[in-house]
Structure 1
Amino acid sequence: MTEILQNAIPYAAHDHRRLPGIQPLDPAEWLLVDEAYAIQMAERARLLAERRDAVLRLAPEAMPAARELLAAVLDFLRGASGFAVGAGQVTRPDGRTVAVDPEDPLGTLALLVQEDFCLLQKRGAEHVLTGAVLCFPSAWTLEQKFMMPLIRIHRPVAVYDADVAKRVQRLFDGIRAGKPLWRYNYLPYANPALFQPRREEDPRDPARAGREKMKFLRSERQTLWRLPETDAVVFGIHTFVTRAPEESTGE
């Protein structure tokens, strides 16, 4: 297995034990390109080609939101260093050219940026996962979460009770177009693989129980972005994996 690693997690250079909660995000910093761009993009292309059903789902009624997201990303990339956005195609920082396919907006996005994207749309009282390109899942599967509301998506999370569900729903309702938010998590891992799905009924990785040394640190930079036309909320995930310091591995 080829290890796909970044040199560092940029926002966690300080004491990562004190994680930030939701905070405002400068729209100019919505999407990131880091030193692992080329190798992460190669892995995304492989997963899209070999495991498309596992990494991409889109409800027909969510196609307008997916196209609006693609348009928003293309607009962002026009001002991003290393990208050249032309008529019907984008040249990436690694020199590869990607055709823009409006009939496959999430598939196109998977080949343009390192972020995974989940589309959540209001259905009744809750937001529902109506589409996603999720190449780098960490202990969950798109298959089990697709078309599920927020409270059902978080079913295995013990602390996600009715009170937390209400607070998260208020957060989603309060996101405003042009005013994105972000947060991050930060966890030790024994396995550096980016594609780590796990079904809800499957046992947790034995390494998480402390039977293996945690040689890697994995962090998701999570963003929340409101699409103004369709009103969908975009949950973006930029995944970092680095080697853990020796004190984290016990060596």
Structure 2
Amino acid sequence: MNDFDGGGRDRPAPAGPPFSHTPYDGSARPFSVGLQPLDLADWIEPDARLVEQLDEKERLLAGGGEAPVLLAEDSTQDAQQEVLDLLAAHLPHRFPDLYRREGEAIRILPAGRTVALSGSDDIPLGRAARLVQEDLILMRASPQGYRLAAGALCFPSSWSLTDKFARPMTAIHETVPGFNDGRMGPMVARIFDNLPVGRPSWRLNWSLYTGPALHRPFPKRIAADGTDPHRLARDEASGLHVRVERQTLRRLPKSGDILFTIRIHHDPVAAFARHPLGGQLALGLRRQLLELDTAQTAYKGLTAGRDAIAEGLRKLAAQIQNDKNH
């Protein structure tokens, strides 16, 4: 499979928010690998928030966040350039209404600005990060397993690039329930070891946060307040949001490193009320919440608030059904 297999220009761009992905509807199981084959035409997911999120990336890459968002080992320069070159080939071809190649630069049409493809003012992964909403992580083989060798991480979900940089998979995931003391860790290690160049993959996971902020490098804790569905409906911005990570894996053909992309989709829980299947989504999220064990609940920051959130989701689903009936 090459970078343009699967439709190229003839395939429409992905739909915008809300609810691009809903893994909590029962289609995916929390704390499982759940990898699916990826059509490279769907590798990158721009949507209506492209300009807004690229503006936020610019702010963070300029040092405006609580934690560093761009780190790289010196030996990864060629692999970083490989990532940038892949994006520079893919984006104008796949999304000609959004991106245009202009010599040694890519113009992001809706943003009205260009990103240079070479120069001395930034490392290549920083340039690549300025093109897409996805965060970009380079994983490199080592005697201890694949380690995080370079990363542009503007929108972390409660982890810090500084804390995980240069560490192997086992250390990166030491707080994930079932990763190092169950089947998940060895399974992921085998996937990384054996991932062919022409067989990229993708997966989804979800979490809950208060508010829509994307840059979240610190641990989360969702308390019982702010979960009443009527309050959420009145004030979405300060209410509970469901945050979905769409992750992709592909082995880079030249360097052999693995590129891990993370695309954040976040939507207010109150928006279930405007979704055609909102009641089902609310009940699916409630069911997954209640099926989490103690360690999983703590990892998701929901120990104090899970029962109240579950009750709020039940009431919200009932309210949606009642509105449909009237």
User: Shared fold (TM-score greater than 0.5)?
Assistant: yes
Partner of 1:83: 99
Conserved in 2, the CA contact under 8 Å of 1:89 and 1:97? yes
Quote the Cα distance in structure 2 between the aligned partners of 1:151 and 1:86. Answer: 42
How far does residue 126 in structure 1 lie from its aligned partner after superposition? 0.6
| 1:67-104 per-position Cα deviation (integer Å, ceiling 9, x unaligned) | 11111111111312221012211111312222223552
RMSD of aligned C-alpha atoms?
2.0
Cα deviation for residue 110 of structure 1 reads 1.8
SS of the equivalent of 1:38 reads helix
Q: Answer with 1 or 2: which has the greater Rg.
A: 2
Which string of whole-angstrom CA distances, capped at 9 and with x for unpartnered residues, describes residues 12-69 of structure 1?
Answer: 2x86233161000001111111010010110001111124861000000111111111
Count of aligned positions:
239
Distance across 2 between alignment mates of 1:129 and 1:84: 31
Q: Is the 8 A contact 1:27 1:179 kept in 2?
A: no
Q: Does 1:134 align with 2:153?
A: yes
User: For structure 1, which segment, 55-64 or 79-88, has the greater mean C-alpha deviation from structure 2 after superposition?
Assistant: 79-88
Identity %: 32
Q: 220, 231, 234: which is aligned to 1:205?
A: 220
Equivalent residue, structure 2, for 1:38 = 51
* Shift in alpha-carbon separation, 1:150–1:99, aligned structure 2, 3 A: same
2:264 aligned to 228, 231, 239, which one?
A: 239
The one-letter code sitting in structure 2 at the alignment partner of 1:59 is E
1:1-251 correspondence runs (5 A): 7-12=17-22, 16-19=25-28, 21-51=34-64, 54-81=68-95, 82-94=98-110, 95-101=112-118, 103=120, 104-162=123-181, 163-198=183-218, 204-207=219-222, 209-213=223-227, 215-244=240-269, 245=272, 248=282, 250=312
Letter in 2 for 1:187: S
Q: Distance in 2 between matches of 1:93 and 1:115?
A: 18
Contact 1:206 1:212 in 2 (8 A): no
Maintained 8 Å contact 2:209/2:220: no
Letter in 2 for 1:89: A
* 1:165-215, Cα deviation, whole Å (9 max, x unpaired): 2111001112111211000112222121000002xxxxx4331x5444262
Q: Which amino acid aligns with 2:252?
A: L
Tell me the distance in 2 between the aligned counterparts of 1:164 and 1:196.
25
How many Å separate the matches in 2 of 1:51 and 1:226?
31
Q: Aligned AA for 1:16?
A: D
Q: TM-score, normalised by structure 1?
A: 0.88
Larger fraction in helix: 2
Q: Aligned partners of 1:161, 1:237: CA distance in 2, in Å? A: 22
Q: Structure 1 residues 100, 215: CA separation in 2 closer, same or farther (over 3 Å shift)?
A: same
Stretches of structure 1 lacking an aligned partner (at least 5 in a row): 1-5, 199-203
* Contact 2:41-2:94 at 8 Å conserved across structures: no
Secondary structure at the aligned position of 1:54 is classed as coil
More strand by share: 1
Higher-RCO chain (CA-CA 8 Å, sequence separation at least 6) = 1
Is the CA contact 1:45–1:110 (under 8 Å) kept in the aligned structure 2?
no
Contact 1:67 1:102 in 2 (8 A): no
- The change in CA–CA distance for 1:45 and 1:22 in structure 2 (over 3 A counts) is same
SS at match of 1:45: helix
